[in-house]
Amino acid sequence: MRTRIYSVFALPVGATAFTIPASAIFARGLGAAASATVSSPSCSATTPSDATSFIDSVNTEYEELHRAFEMQFWGTKMALSAPSYSISELTRTKGEMESFLADEAKLSRTRELLSSLSEGGGHDLDTTKTLKMFERTFGCYIMESDEAKELRSEATEIEGKLESERNNMVLGANMPGGEFEEMSSVGLRSRLRVDSEEEVRKACFDGLNKIGDFVTENGFVELVKKRNKMAKSLGYLDYYDYKVTQAEGFGKEDLFKILDTLEEGSRPIMERARERFAAEKGGPSALEPWNLSYFMAGDITRKMDPYFPFEKSVEQWGRSFAAMSISYRGASMDLDLLDRKRKYSNGFCHWPQPAWIKPDGTWQPAVTHFTSLADPSAIGSGLTGLMTLMHEAGHAAHFANIAQKSPLFAQERAPTSVPYAELQSMFLDSLVGDAAWRAKYALSREGEPIPWELVQEDLEASHPYKVFALRAMLAVPYFEKALYEMPADDLTANSIKELAERTERQIQGGLSQRPLLSVPHLLSDEASCYYHGYVLAEMAVHQTRAFVMKRDEYIVDNPAVGPLLTDAYWKPGNSEPFLSLVEKCTGAPLSGDAWIDVLKQDLDKLLKEEKAAYEKARTEGETKIADEDIDLDMRIRIVDGDEVLADTAEDGSFLKTCAKFEKYVRDRYEEAV
Could you give the CA distance from residue 417 to residue 422 in angstroms, rounded to a whole number? 9
For CA atoms 586, 591, 595, 601, the dihedral sign is negative
Closest CB 524 distance from Zn ion, rounded Å: 18
Of these, 18, 138, 308, 578, which contacts Zn ion (CB under 5 A)? 18
DSSP 11: P
- DSSP class of 453: H
Min CB(510)–Zn ion separation in Å: 30
In the complex with Zn ion, the residue whose CB is nearer, 7 or 137, is 7
Inter-residue contact 215 to 166 (CB < 8 Å)? yes
Distance separating alpha carbons of residues 492 and 227, to the nearest angstrom: 15
Q: Could you tell me the smallest distance in angstroms from the CB atom of residue 420 to Zn ion? A: 11
Name the CA radius of gyration of the chain, rounded. Answer: 25
Shortest gap between Cβ of 399 and Zn ion (angstroms)? Answer: 11
Min CB(475)–Zn ion separation in Å: 21
Q: Which is nearer to Zn ion, 9 or 205 (CB)?
A: 9
The smaller minimum CB distance to Zn ion, of residues 159 and 422, is found at: 422
Cβ-based nearer residue to Zn ion, 392 or 525: 392
Angle at the Cα of 378 from the Cα atoms of 376 and 380, rounded to 5 degrees: 95
242 lies in the binding site for Zn ion (CB under 5 A): no
Which among 419-427, 448-456, 646-654, 660-668 is the span making contact with Zn ion, rule CB under 5 A? 419-427
Q: Put the strands of the sheet holding 348-353 in their side by side order.
A: 348-353, 367-374, 331-338, 634-640, 643-647
Q: Which stretch binds Zn ion (CB under 5 A): 422-430, 433-441, 486-494, 518-526?
A: 422-430
Minimum CB separation of residue 6 from Zn ion in Å reads 15
Q: Which stretch binds Zn ion (CB under 5 A): 14-22, 27-35, 406-414, 623-631?
A: 14-22
> Among residues 292 and 418, whose Cβ is nearest to Zn ion?
418
Q: Which residues, in sequence order, are CB contacts of 670 under 8 Å at separation 6+? A: none
Give the helix/strand (H/E) hosting 354: none
**430 contacts Zn ion (rule: CB under 5 A):** no
Pairing of strands 331-338, 180-182: unpaired
Q: How many CB atoms lie within 10 A of CB 299?
A: 10
Name the residue nearer to Zn ion (CB basis): 17 or 596: 17
Residue with smaller CB distance to Zn ion, 18 or 468: 18
Whether residue 415 is preceded by a cis peptide bond, meaning omega within 30 degrees of 0, is yes
- How many other β-carbons are positioned within 10 Å of the β-carbon of residue 7? 22
Q: How many residues bind Zn ion (CB under 5 A)?
A: 3
**Chain residues 326-385 in contact with Zn ion, contact rule CB under 5 A:** none
Q: According to CB under 5 A, which one of 320, 425, 430, 648 is a site residue for Zn ion?
A: 425
Residues whose CB is less than 8 angstroms from the CB of residue 31 and which lie 6 or more positions away in sequence, other chains included: 136, 139, 245, 246
Rounded to a whole number of angstroms, the minimum distance from the CB of residue 342 to Zn ion is: 24
Residue closer to Zn ion by CB (options 537, 645) is 537
Q: CB nearest Zn ion: which residue?
A: 18
Between 370 and 478, whose beta carbon lies closer to Zn ion? 370
> How many other C-beta atoms lie within 10 A of the C-beta of residue 490?
9
Q: Segment contacting Zn ion (CB under 5 A): 15-23, 134-142, 198-206, 441-449?
A: 15-23
Exposed (0-12), middle (13-18) or buried (19+): which is 161, by Cβ within 10 Å?
middle
Contact region with Zn ion (CB under 5 A), list: 12-20, 133-141, 306-314, 519-527: 12-20
By CB under 5 A, which span of 90-98, 371-379, 414-422, 605-613 interacts with Zn ion?
A: 414-422
Nearer Cβ to Zn ion (18/236): 18
Chain Cα centroid distance, residue 354:
18
Instruction: Name which of residues 121 to 160 contact Zn ion (CB under 5 A).
Output: none
User: Residue 569, CB half-sphere, CA atoms under 13 Å: how many?
Assistant: 31
Nearer to Zn ion, 366 or 439 (CB): 366
Residues 245-284 that bind Zn ion (CB under 5 A): none
Tell me 324's DSSP state.
T
Which stretches within 305-403 are classed as H helix? 313-323, 381-400
Within a 13 Å sphere around the CA of 298, how many CA atoms are in the beta-carbon half?
12
Minimum separation from the CB atom of position 429 to Zn ion (A): 9
- To the nearest whole angstrom, how small is the minimum distance from the Cβ of residue 616 to Zn ion? 30
Only segment of 285-293, 424-432, 510-518, 612-620 that touches Zn ion (CB under 5 A): 424-432
User: Are the CB atoms for 433 and 426 separated by under 8 Å?
Assistant: no
Interactions with Zn ion, residue window 98-117 (CB under 5 A): none
Q: Residues in the site for Zn ion, rule: CB under 5 A?
A: 18, 422, 425
